[in-house]
Chains A and B, each alone.
Chain A
Amino acid sequence: MSLLEEDTGRKQIAQRRRMDFILHILFVICTSIGVLALMALMVDIIMDGIMRFAPDLFTNYPSRRASQAGMKSAIVGSLYMLLIMAPLSFILGVGAAIFLEEYAKKNRLTRLIQLNISTLAGVPSIVYGILGLTLFVRGLALERSLLSGALTMTLLVLPIIIVSAQEAIRAVPKARRDASFALGATKWQTVSRSVMPSALPGVLTGVILALSRAIGETAPLVMIGGLTYVAFLPESILDSFTVMPIQIYNWISRPNEAFHELAAAGIIVLLIMLLLMNFAAILLRNKYQKNV
């Protein structure tokens, strides 16, 4: 009897070990498919584009001749847009998150707002383009300008920033707040000096990742009129503009092979920019995690 039990026990253990091993392999495969796809993409893009990855790409305006074409106006357009967007979306997004987490009463209205924000985070970007077109381009008569583009993109990333900032704020232990209140601090003092400093790494990571999503977006900007051929740099926030993804899309849809190589080079620039932003997010996170 006991021998039999021991035997089934051993069998079960062997079976569980085998199961564990199979799942282990399965998860490794899952990971490597993603990584391999990314590697394949990178190798393919770099092979296509490295020849065109030259100073001309940064200093020349678009041209009908691939040999002279660059994406200066697109790079500068993307950077300017980021410049307008970042402070706006940071202030609005983190402000909303602080309100929802710290000030708002946990009632039905708050839950409704919360649900709306989560839904908005999943709305396709082209919808924001339509919204931007009616609201900013036509409604506020900002025309097809850098400002309209930046405001539209701000709307697009806001829900993502709010949700991630909320997560970060929620992760701050309640004891910190209690301690602050116990010392007689007001709500704002507690939030600004106790909660936010410790939530900051998470908030910043969220903001930067949301911004890096925004610089890769094309659809909403095409909708509100980001242009394709712009041979000048925007001089004011009400000027016409173009951004990198639009320029890349235009190049890739041309018949001539040389433009496809240019597009690949443009993608390399975009990837480098994304990498730098993600790198900045990691740096910031590490720095603040040490401080707090």
Chain B
Amino acid sequence: MLKGKGLQSILMLFMVMTLVFVAACGNGEKNTANDKNSGAGGNVSSGTNEEVAANLSGEIKVDGSSTVFPLTEAAAEEFGKENKDVRVSVGTSGTGGGFKQFCAGEIAISNASRHIKDEEAAKCKEAGIEFTELSVAYDGLSIVIHKDNDFIDHLTVEELNKIFSSESTAKTWADIRAGWPAEEIKMFSPGADSGTYDYFNEAILDKKGIRNDSAISFSEDDNTLVQGVAGNKFGIGYFGFAYYEENADKLKVVPVDGGSGAIEPTLDSIKDGSYAPLSRPLFIYVSKKELDRAEVKGFVKYYIENIGDMAKEVGYVPMPDEKYTEEAAKIEA
């Protein structure tokens, strides 16, 4: 009796567990089946684009900056439609994290929102990984303030430095420019791991680092920064142009004077570089060894040739056409 019941129970247990898994599995397979009809499956060739795709196949691993991610995602999505056998995957480990994997030879392409650092390049060299740097689009770091803030008409680079620098002792807006209210400054900044922070640190703060006291809040999530500035009448923050564009009704963007007059970030001023020093190029780094693979070369070529049209859609600014031609030549070199 006892024996029968015990065995039965254990058998039942495994049966139930298997059932749960089979059910789970079934779901996945049903999805695959559904998708075969719509032709979006990773390894299904629908026939319509066969002649365009020179039958490329293989896996391309991309990782790195979350700022560049939307661009690479857009390129991978469109490229995937024409080359169904090429499996592109994109991660968001951050610029630094991306280079770490890139120089360990784990990925083919690294997304970066800044240039590679010397020590990172040294690591790559040590591992025998040669690379090509390609710029893919521009981003304008936007300085934003509360919608109802009416005393700031523009900020100079020195004033920004005075606000954010680790050496700054400024506490209120009156410390920044005479005549401004003696209200405490509330700052919102991306975290130190992000390429956005690195760029700001380099362009505005002379690499002295951002202040770290009770007046500043850090977040890796740009939407949190948007909310922070939108909720603080005396707040100020900075992040990518796309986040300002989507939240233009809640925020006010500050024109920045880099020495030749106050310029507001717009598609045009970022593109022609007059929004200086805060318009920055975004990059992908491609391993030269990986470029020998036809699918990687195909993908990178497609990326450079088409990203100009897609950049605006994901909130970035396309580079001038001749710049793309220049970058495309680098792939062949």
Contact A255 B246 (CB under 8 A): yes
Contact residues of B: prevailing secondary structure: helix
Per the 8 Å Cβ criterion, residues 192-231 of A in contact with B are: 192-194, 196-197, 200, 204, 222, 225-231
Per the 8 Å Cβ criterion, residues 1-58 of B in contact with A are: 2-3, 5-7, 9-10, 13, 16-17, 20-21, 24-25, 27-28, 31-32, 34-35, 38, 40-43
Which of B66, B73, B91, B310 is close to A253, meaning CB atoms less than 8 Å apart?
B66
B192 located at the interface, meaning its Cβ lies under 8 Å from any Cβ of chain A in the complex: no
| Contact A225 to B91, CB < 8 A, known contacts A253-B66, A255-B247 | yes
Please name all residues of chain B whose beta carbon is closer than 8 Å to the beta carbon of A72 when the two chains form the complex. Answer: 31, 35
| Contact A280 to B20, CB < 8 A, known contacts A197-B5, A231-B80, A255-B222 | yes
Contact A76 B246 (CB under 8 A): no
Per the 8 Å Cβ criterion, residues 87-106 of B in contact with A are: 87-93, 101, 106
Contact B43 A79 (CB under 8 A): no
B82 located at the interface, meaning its Cβ lies under 8 Å from any Cβ of chain A in the complex: no
CB of A198, distance to nearest CB on chain B (Å): 9
Contact A240 B10 (CB under 8 A): no
Contact B31 A250 (CB under 8 A): no
Contact B21 A257 (CB under 8 A): no
B74 located at the interface, meaning its Cβ lies under 8 Å from any Cβ of chain A in the complex: yes
Which of B3, B28, B90 is close to A229, meaning CB atoms less than 8 Å apart?
B90
Which of A62, A193, A253 is close to B2, meaning CB atoms less than 8 Å apart?
A193
When chains A and B are docked, how far (Å) is the Cα of A62 from the Cα of B76? Answer: 11
Contact B310 A64 (CB under 8 A): yes
When chains A and B are docked, how far (Å) is the Cα of A250 from the Cα of B91? Answer: 10
| Contact A62 to B7, CB < 8 A, known contacts A76-B31, A229-B90, A233-B32 | no
Task: Fill in one digit per residue for A136-166: 1 if any B CB lies within 8 Å of its CB, else 0.
Answer: 0000000110000000000000000000000
How many chain-B residues does the 8 Å CB contact rule pick out? Answer: 59
Contact B5 A254 (CB under 8 A): no
CB of B89, distance to nearest CB on chain A (Å): 4
Please name all residues of chain A whose beta carbon is closer than 8 Å to the beta carbon of B32 when the two chains form the complex. Answer: 76, 233
Contact A64 B74 (CB under 8 A): yes
Per the 8 Å Cβ criterion, residues 166-186 of A in contact with B are: 180
Which of B21, B42, B73 is close to A62, meaning CB atoms less than 8 Å apart?
B73
Contact A64 B6 (CB under 8 A): no
Task: Fill in one digit per residue for B58-89: 1 if any A CB lies within 8 Å of its CB, else 0.
Answer: 01010100100110111011001000000111
A284 located at the interface, meaning its Cβ lies under 8 Å from any Cβ of chain B in the complex: yes
B268 located at the interface, meaning its Cβ lies under 8 Å from any Cβ of chain A in the complex: no
Chain A CB count within 10 A is highest, among B73, B240, B314, for B73
| Contact A196 to B24, CB < 8 A, known contacts A64-B77, A64-B313 | no
Contact A255 B243 (CB under 8 A): yes
A86 located at the interface, meaning its Cβ lies under 8 Å from any Cβ of chain B in the complex: yes
A124 located at the interface, meaning its Cβ lies under 8 Å from any Cβ of chain B in the complex: no
Chain B CB count within 10 A is highest, among A58, A229, A256, A260, for A229
Which of B80, B91, B243 is close to A227, meaning CB atoms less than 8 Å apart?
B91
Contact A194 B6 (CB under 8 A): yes
Contact residues of A: prevailing secondary structure: helix
When chains A and B are docked, how far (Å) is the Cα of A280 from the Cα of B21? Answer: 12
B168 located at the interface, meaning its Cβ lies under 8 Å from any Cβ of chain A in the complex: no
Contact B31 A240 (CB under 8 A): no
Contact B9 A288 (CB under 8 A): yes
Please name all residues of chain B whose beta carbon is closer than 8 Å to the beta carbon of A193 when the two chains form the complex. Answer: 2-3, 5-7
Contact A229 B66 (CB under 8 A): no
Please name all residues of chain A whose beta carbon is closer than 8 Å to the beta carbon of B326 when the two chains form the complex. Answer: none
Chain B CB count within 10 A is highest, among A76, A235, A292, for A76
Residue of B nearest to A242 (CB): B89
Contact B246 A227 (CB under 8 A): no
Contact A228 B92 (CB under 8 A): yes
Task: Fill in one digit per residue for B227-245: 1 if any A CB lies within 8 Å of its CB, else 0.
Answer: 0000000000000101101
When chains A and B are docked, how far (Å) is the Cα of A228 from the Cα of B80? Answer: 16
Please name all residues of chain A whose beta carbon is closer than 8 Å to the beta carbon of B87 when the two chains form the complex. Answer: 231-232, 240
Task: Fill in one digit per residue for A237-276: 1 if any B CB lies within 8 Å of its CB, else 0.
Answer: 0001010000000101111110010000000000000000
| Contact A83 to B221, CB < 8 A, known contacts A193-B3, A255-B242 | no
B315 located at the interface, meaning its Cβ lies under 8 Å from any Cβ of chain A in the complex: yes
Contact B106 A144 (CB under 8 A): yes
Task: Fill in one digit per residue for A55-90: 1 if any B CB lies within 8 Å of its CB, else 0.
Answer: 000111111110000001001100110110011001
Please name all residues of chain B whose beta carbon is closer than 8 Å to the beta carbon of A240 when the two chains form the complex. Answer: 59, 61, 87, 89
Contact A228 B90 (CB under 8 A): yes
Contact B31 A90 (CB under 8 A): no
A291 located at the interface, meaning its Cβ lies under 8 Å from any Cβ of chain B in the complex: yes
Sample (27) of A-B pairs whose CB atoms are under 8 Å apart: A59-B31, A61-B77, A62-B77, A63-B73, A64-B70, A79-B25, A86-B21, A180-B2, A225-B91, A227-B90, A228-B69, A229-B69, A229-B91, A231-B80, A232-B41, A232-B42, A233-B32, A233-B42, A240-B61, A250-B69, A250-B92, A252-B223, A253-B221, A254-B70, A255-B243, A288-B9, A291-B9
**A229-B91, A240-B61, A255-B243 given; 10 more Cβ-contact pairs under 8 Å:** A62-B73, A76-B31, A204-B13, A225-B101, A228-B73, A230-B90, A231-B87, A232-B43, A256-B315, A257-B246
The 8 closest A-B pairs by CB, nearest first: A232-B42, A193-B6, A229-B90, A255-B246, A197-B9, A76-B28, A64-B74, A227-B91
B residues with CB within 8 A of A: 2-3, 5-7, 9-10, 13, 16-17, 20-21, 24-25, 27-28, 31-32, 34-35, 38, 40-43, 59, 61, 63, 66, 69-70, 72-74, 76-77, 80, 87-93, 101, 106, 221-223, 240, 242-243, 245-247, 310, 313-315
